[in-house]
């Protein structure tokens, strides 16, 4: 078995770390994204809301994805840019010496964007702030029964808040994301509800990680500042490749598979090591070097194939606007002490990054 495809006894799974091999799994058929099919998943997972796109397989995934996609096109997301920049600027206005970029900017911006998109007001924003960390814990590789229970409780709280809002927007639509989803022909309110929960659980966490690690990467090498400000979208693509916010994605083989010459029996758990695959030297020259001037290369930070992240355009915009406006506003920004990394099996991110303006 090659280094790109290896069995890990501790994880009880095959680890796929080569770019081509990882891409083949993510784009291929015969794989399930439903954690309920995995022998590793606690039974309490059944208490979580159904219809979460991330965990669906065809044909349910195909149907729901087709209905949701128009709301997430780059053109649709571009219309949100003025609202995103206003949120970023408001967050930057609140920064002061000793601020924690993670809590005061990286987590604040995507959370505020989701609250704005859903038009949930201050009460909704505060609820999302309180409950989202437990939701994100659901995506951890080593999630415990207690973690699943906390995630189920958090999702219940959020759904109890959103259910009457969705009912109201069904009859009195507004200029918001929920109303836009409800207007899709054939979509069910329960599917809109599950999509809102997914936006909070997955979209918020990954974008926050990207903003945090991107800030650290530029602070650690002041030469990167000019490259970021010169072409923010290009810089963000390289940050996505090199600093993938998600370390891995899980799949279960529905049939016997061969990946990179390795036989993977049906029923096997597979972890696609996204961060490692993006730095595969067979795929990227000088892959371990972060170069914000590098011409954008294909990467797997948003997944690939049928489960390619629906919110990719929004995440790219939020990161580019936040990072470029941060370093333009504060040209003398420096670290205030050491950064601390988050202990996570799934996410690549920071716990804290204090700065001086």
Give residue-wise pLDDT tens across range 215-255.
999 999 989 999 999 999 999 999 999 999 999 998 999 99
Residue partners of 123: CB distance under 8 A and separation at least 6: 161
Q: Do residues 357 and 330 lie in contact, with contact meaning Cβ atoms separated by under 8 Å? A: yes
The total number of structural domains that make up the chain: 1
What one-character DSSP code corresponds to residue 104? I
Q: How far is CA 62 from CA 65, 199, 350, in A?
A: 5, 18, 34
Q: Residue 339 belongs to a domain with what CATH number?
A: 1.10.630.10
The per-residue DSSP string of 187-215 comes to: --HHHHHHHHHHIIIIIHHHHHHHHHHHH
Residues of the domain holding 203: 5-352
Question: How much is the pLDDT for 2?
Answer: 59
Question: How much is the pLDDT for 256?
Answer: 95
Full-prediction pTM beyond 0.95? no
Question: How much is the pLDDT for 72?
Answer: 83
Question: How much is the pLDDT for 331?
Answer: 94
Separation CA 248–CA 142 (nearest Å)? 12
Q: Which two tokens stand for residue 34?
A: 């439903």
Regions of the chain with pLDDT less than 70: 1-2, 39-51, 142-143
The answer to whether position 161 is within a domain reads yes
Q: How far is CA 348 from CA 4, 209, 264, 276, in A?
A: 20, 7, 27, 12
Question: For residue 281, which of 242, 320, 325 has the smallest C-alpha distance?
Answer: 242
Separation CA 87–CA 79 (nearest Å)? 14
Residue 11 has phi, psi (to 5 degrees) of -75, -20
Q: Do residues 306 and 55 lie in contact, with contact meaning Cβ atoms separated by under 8 Å? A: no
The answer to whether position 269 is within a domain reads yes
Separation CA 320–CA 323 (nearest Å)? 5
3-state secondary structure of 294: coil
The answer to whether position 357 is within a domain reads no
The answer to whether position 39 is within a domain reads yes
The answer to whether position 318 is within a domain reads yes
Query: Which run of H or E residues covers position 356?
Result: strand 355-356
């Amino acid at each position: 078995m090659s280094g790109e495809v290896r069995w890990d006894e501790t994880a009880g799974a095959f680890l796929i770390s080569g770019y081509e091999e990882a891409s083949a799994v993510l784009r291929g058929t015969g794989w399930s994204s439903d954690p309920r099919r995995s022998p590793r998943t606690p039974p309490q997972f059944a208490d979580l809301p159904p219809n979460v796109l991330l965990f669906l397989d065809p044909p349910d995934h195909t149907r729901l994805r087709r209905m949701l996609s128009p709301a997430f096109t780059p053109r649709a997301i571009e219309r949100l840019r003025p609202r995103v920049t206003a949120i970023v600027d408001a967050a930057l206005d609140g920064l002061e010496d000793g601020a924690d970029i993670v809590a005061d900017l990286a987590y604040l911006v995507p959370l505020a964007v989701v609250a704005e998109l859903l038009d949930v007001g201050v009460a909704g924003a505060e609820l999302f702030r309180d409950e989202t960390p437990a939701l994100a814990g659901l995506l951890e590789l080593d999630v415990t029964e207690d973690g699943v229970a906390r995630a189920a409780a958090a999702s219940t709280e959020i759904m109890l808040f959103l259910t009457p809002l969705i009912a109201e927007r069904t009859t009195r639509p507004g200029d918001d994301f929920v109303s836009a989803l409800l207007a899709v022909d054939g979509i069910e309110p329960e599917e809109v509800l599950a999509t809102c929960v997914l936006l909070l659980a997955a979209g918020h966490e990954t974008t926050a990680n990207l903003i945090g690690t991107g800030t650290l990467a530029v602070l650690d090498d002041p030469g990167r500042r000019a490259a970021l400000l010169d072409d923010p979208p290009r810089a963000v693509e390289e940050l996505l490749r090199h600093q993938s916010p998600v370390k891995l994605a899980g799949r279960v083989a529905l049939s016997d598979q061969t990946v990179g010459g390795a036989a993977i029996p049906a029923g096997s758990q597979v972890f696609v090591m996204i961060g490692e695959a993006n730095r595969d030297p067979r795929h990227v020259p000088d892959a371990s070097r972060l170069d914000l001037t590098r011409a954008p290369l294909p990467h797997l930070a948003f997944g690939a194939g049928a489960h390619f992240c629906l919110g990719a355009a929004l995440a790219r915009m939020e990161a580019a606007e936040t990072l470029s406006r941060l370093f333009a506003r504060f040209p003398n920004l420096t670290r205030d002490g050491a950064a601390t990394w988050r202990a996570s099996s799934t996410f690549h991110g920071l716990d804290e990054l204090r700065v001086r303006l």
